[in-house]
A and B are shown apart, each in its own frame.
Chain A
Amino acid sequence: MDRVIATVIGIVVAVGVSAIVFVGANKLFDLAPRRWSIFSTLIGGASSLAIFGLLWGNRLIDQPVTVTAIATVVGALTGYALSRTSDQNAHLAIGAVAGVLLGVLAGASIKPQWRPGIDAIALVLSVVLFLAVGVGIRSLRNTNSNMLRPVLLWGSIGWIIGAFLYPDLGTGTVAWTVIASVFAGGLLGGWVGTFPLPDQMMKRDIAVGSRKFIFLIPALAFISMTLVIPLIRTIWLSLLTGLPKELTWTGLSNYVDIVTDPTIIDFSDWTDVFTSRLFIGGIVVLIIGLVVARISGKRTGERLGLNGGSLAAISAGFILVAFAVFASVRGTISNNLWWIFAVTIFSTGAGLAIAVMSDRSKGENVAKSFIFMPMAISFVGAGIIWRFMFVARPPTKDQTGVLNAIWVKIGVWSNSTTATTVIVIILSLIILGLIYIAFRGRQAGNISVAAGSVVIALPLVWIIYKFLGPGLGGYEVFEGEVFAKPILFLTESPFNNFWMMVVLIWIQTGFAMVILSAAIKGVPADLLEAASIDGATESQKFWRITVPQIGPTIGVVVTTLIVTVLKVFDIPKVMTNGNFDTQVLANEMWQRAFTELDFGLGSALAAIIFFAVVPVMWRNIRQMQDQRAST
């Protein structure tokens, strides 16, 4: 209970302090036009408090309370002094003196392990370099301006980097630390002193112009802490190698290691592509699709008539060929590409199909709710659920995995004369029914019904053939006895990859469906009506009006899915942990960085994933902006 109370108090204090800071900042800038000297005093105190608070928070200084208090007072006094005079030289002097004072304070209180050593060459180089940059920028922008300010600002930046950031820390003396920080403080203080006393107009500008920063800074600070700084650090880490406490510079060798690692991409079996059944089948289907497209194209006067039938055949062929390639060219990258390809295509395709078919039909909402439900399950949860679906048990045991139970049961039926007879009779009746429907459809002039019935009947014919001939399902006959022969979904490479993709497809179809369904409902009804009046068929309306209208939305769905899938981690992690040829980049990153403590290599993998995601993200955001602009 005391923990709850402590947490409550902590949260109340944090929220309270944030509110006070926020309201205080607004009130403070309200003061600028009316009470300049109070404003200046408070700003001076707050700036010193912020700088020394940073040192304090990072545990860089001894006696932090006293030192920070003194610094705040010095800062406030400086602010007040600056507001009382408008003399340029006096300003400069006040700023410099205050900077020197604060420098002494900081230099003397920095803890021994953070005192910098002396690296004269680095110091000189750094100062010269930054001076050159600063003066260069200023003279390019405005040729006849005062050079004092850029010299002071850029000189102090160069000095701080050369004196504090480059040399080894912990080796220096107190004297040098004080000197170094006095110089830095003096230069910076002088720079602050070069600001002239503002007139009424400028004061109002300060009050108004600062508001956007007051609102932005908390968000920016949060984003840089949680995103930008870790990102930069990851990229920096990817250029280092070694154990976490002794990282050394290694340049791009982590990236070279990744690219040359044979488990990342393995072309050794690529010739198998041309002999695989998938490839041959895919090519055949592709050719059929192209022929159908050509024939229907002739009718409409196009080179290739892309309608439901031809497009389905062409994409099926394309998918089969791609699967053949992914199944033969192995490796982590190939797995990742396969994931992207399969999940994106199947989720978008199935989502679109469901959205179209359920549109304005009875029970649409119920059906869509069920399909959307898997979205509510975490990837880890889904992985565990599907592990149970995929379980294989020894031949002598009952199969407890749903898929294998069905598969083995079919095998048992296929070996029993009675069951085979019953199934063949039932299937034959269904086929007869379908033929009747096809016949009626043809008589009624509805070609799509006729063709559809025949298409559904074909696999049933194939099943009958299998039952009567070679047999179907998971079984094995050993010395006259029938044994179960379950499919080892998760261990048999390479298609274990696909069985895991099924899990993500199962989840993401709902997402694609919901977005696409909303887009379809947004297609203007008058367009569709006009097309109907002009005599367009349903299929023409879909391909010529709906699809072009929802094109940008399909783009958004596809890119969102690609980004999700590129980062896929949870499902392979819980289902196989990258064993059995199912490694993906994100899991590889985890294993390198956290199992083997090779943060360099792990970060390089993380960076690769990041750089692969960025262009897709960028495209995704652009599409969403375009879409918003067009509606």
Chain B
Amino acid sequence: MKRLRNVVMLLLAFALLAAACSSSDDGGEATDTTATTAAPTTTAATETTTPPDTGGDTTTTAGEVDLTGRSVTVFGPESSDEEAGAIQDALNVLAADTGLRIIYTGARDFSDQINAQAAGGNPPDIAIFPQPGKLADFARQEFILPLPDDVTATVNDQWPEAFVAFGNVDGAQYGVPNKADIKSLVWYDKPSFDAAGYTVPTTLDELWALTAQIRDDGGTPWCIGIESGPATGWTFTDWVEDIMLRVEGPDFYDQWVSNEIKFSDDRVKAIWNTILDEWNIPGNVFAAGGSIAATPFGDNGQPLVDGDCVLHRQASFYSAFLPEGTVTGPEGIDVFFFPGDTADNKPVLGGGTLAASFKDAPEVWVVMDFFATAEYAEIRQAAQTERKDGSLSGFLSANTQQDLSVYQPIEQSFITLLTEASVLRFDGSDLMPAAVGAGSFWTEGTSAVNGDKSVDDATAAIDASWP
């Protein structure tokens, strides 16, 4: 009898352990577990309801089917408590309305994990892609499904054309814009900036002149760090893209993104050299990690607040990395537009995330539709601001029908820039094939920044890696 009891105890302990592993929902491994448990339902449902090929033609709305009790898994790159929590908060509102169970999991190494999950036949129901290039890869390999007409209609209705186009692959709409970022921003501490007698530059030349002026005054102009774990180097690629958009114009940019213009083109190399020359002038850059390549991009908030540097070029989501309690707006940390080559030229480099579906089921399309709506943007913004204790949330949406009053003034100015931009381009590295945009452009750029490779060698290596 005693032996039997031991066996039962052992089994119970094992079961608890297994359950504990599968029910936690933060961090990378938990994600895997969720995906695994979701997998059998995914395949089974696809087989019993409709053949997978007819994804584009289905038009199902929430009213027709009772969705109570069905579950939807969403997987995305945003994993911090604030971001992931706010997404889950917004999804909980939808879940309460429809009776669905919707679970969001976020992982920092989303790009690698989604590859493994999709190729392993084990994807989530919905993935939120930070890179349209990856979304296009997945669409062409038929991993993800085109949107049904009603969801496409919501997207077209509520989002600016430029953002809708990021989710369009070969004429079919796959992506639902979920979040928007504006990357052409320079963060600075306005009170001390004004006190030092500096003025906000309106052209690139003025920006470089300001840099030199700050340096001559004994200050350190820039805070720069490009370390970001597996994605180290993306900050550098943003600089290249932003300056290319200004110096060479949007047409050149598009050709470069599609590899009609090579990286080893003299004009592209000139941009690399412009950036690296500025970065390498002694005293120009404060790198909190000792060198630019070793400084995590998120570690630049504190020095900016402390006055170790004056300027920091980074996207709108950077507000999430400012130290707690930082005053933002005209009385504290403010932003100015990363200037164009002339005062009138204001091209915007944007970014953002797009949701796409791996599964053709009514409950999935309900969630996809929700992502496109102003309601989602408003609930998420409110939740994320609250989770940040009232400071800038780091979230932005370019949804045209949202109520802007949920945003703070500085955030509203971002949205104005985004929705009114004459030229808006998505982050180029996110549009390129993964081998370059999430591979060699990052690593070779990092090598060039670190001085391990010359610009000539690094750009040649990127060209060689283009698939």
In the assembled complex, the Cα of A596 lies from the Cα of B47 at a distance in Å of 30
Closest to A597 in B: B115
Given A393-B290, A394-B288, A595-B439 contact (CB < 8 Å): yes
Residues of A within 8 A of B289 (CB): 391-393
Contact assessment for B434 and A11 in the assembled complex, using a CB-CB cutoff below 8 Å: no
Q: CB-CB contacts of B109-138 with A at 8 A, as 1s and 0s?
A: 001110110110000000000000000010
User: Is there an interface contact between B434 and A580, defined as CB atoms closer than 8 Å?
Assistant: no
Partner of B450 from the list A15, A245, A573, A580 (CB cut-off 8 Å) is A580
Q: Is A596 in contact with B434, judged by CB distance below 8 angstroms? A: yes
A242-277 interface code vs B (CB 8 A; 1 in, 0 out): 011110000000000000000000000000000000
* B residues 280-301 touching A (CB-CB < 8 Å): 286-291, 293-294
Given known A579-B232, A595-B439, contact A392–B294 (CB-CB < 8 A) = yes
Bound-state CA distance A391–B450 (Å) is 16
For chain B, the bracket of interface size reads 35 or more
B19 touches A7 (CB 8 A): yes
Chain A hits for B96, CB < 8 A: none
- Asked if A17 is an interface residue, CB under 8 A from chain B, the answer is no
B12 interface hit (Cβ, 8 Å)? yes
B439/A11 in contact, CB under 8 A: no
Q: Does B156 touch A at the CB level, under 8 Å?
A: no
A539 at the interface (CB under 8 A from B): no
In this complex, the member of A3, A7, A8, A59 whose beta carbon has the largest number of chain B beta carbons within 10 angstroms is A7
Picked from A11, A246, A493, A595, the residue with its CB within 8 Å of the CB of B452 is: A493
Is there contact, CB below 8 Å, between A595 and B230?
A: yes
A488 to B111, CA, bound (A): 29
B423 surroundings in chain A (CB, below 8 A): none
A-side interface size class: 35 or more
A580 to B450, CA, bound (A): 8
Given A11-B11, A577-B230, A598-B435: A244 in contact with B291 (beta carbons within 8 A): no
Interface contact B11-A580, CB-CB below 8 Å? no
Known: A11-B14, A580-B452. A243 touches B141 (CB 8 A): yes
A569: chain B residues at CB < 8 Å are none
Known contacts A578-B443, A596-B434, A597-B115; is-contact A394 B286 (Cβ 8 Å): yes
Q: How far is the CA of A577 from the CA of B137 in the complex (A)?
A: 24
- Tell me if A323 counts as interface (CB < 8 A to partner B): no
Is A393 in contact with B288, judged by CB distance below 8 angstroms?
A: yes
Please report which residues of chain B, range 138-182, place their CB below 8 angstroms from some CB of chain A when the two chains form the complex: 141-143
Instruction: Say which residue of A4, A7, A595 sits within 8 Å of B438 (CB atoms).
Output: A595
Complex interface: chain B residues within 8 A of A392 (CB): 289-291, 294
Q: Does A86 contact B (CB under 8 A)?
A: no
Q: Which single member of B14, B19, B288, B439 contacts A596 (CB below 8 Å)? A: B439
Q: Are the CB atoms of A243 and B137 closer together than 8 Å?
A: yes
B22 contacts chain A at the CB level, 8 A cutoff: yes
The residues of A that contact B450 with a CB separation of less than 8 Å are 491, 579-580
Residues in A whose Cβ lies below 8 Å from that of B18:
7, 11
A245 touches B141 (CB 8 A): yes
Whether A543 is near chain B, meaning CB under 8 Å from some CB there, is no
CB nearest neighbor in B for A6: B19
- CB-contacts of A25-79 with B (<8 A): 59
Residues of A within 8 A of B116 (CB): 594
Task: List 5 additional A-B contacts (Cβ < 8 Å) besides A11-B14, A573-B230, A577-B229.
Answer: A8-B15, A11-B11, A244-B119, A488-B294, A578-B443
Q: Which B residues lie at the A interface, using CB under 8 A?
A: 11-12, 14-16, 18-19, 22-23, 47, 111-113, 115-116, 118-119, 137, 141-143, 229-230, 232-233, 286-291, 293-294, 308, 434-435, 438-439, 443, 446-447, 450, 452
Residues of A within 8 A of B (CB): 3-4, 7-8, 11-12, 15, 59, 243-246, 391-394, 396-397, 486, 488, 490-491, 493, 573-574, 577-581, 590-591, 594-599
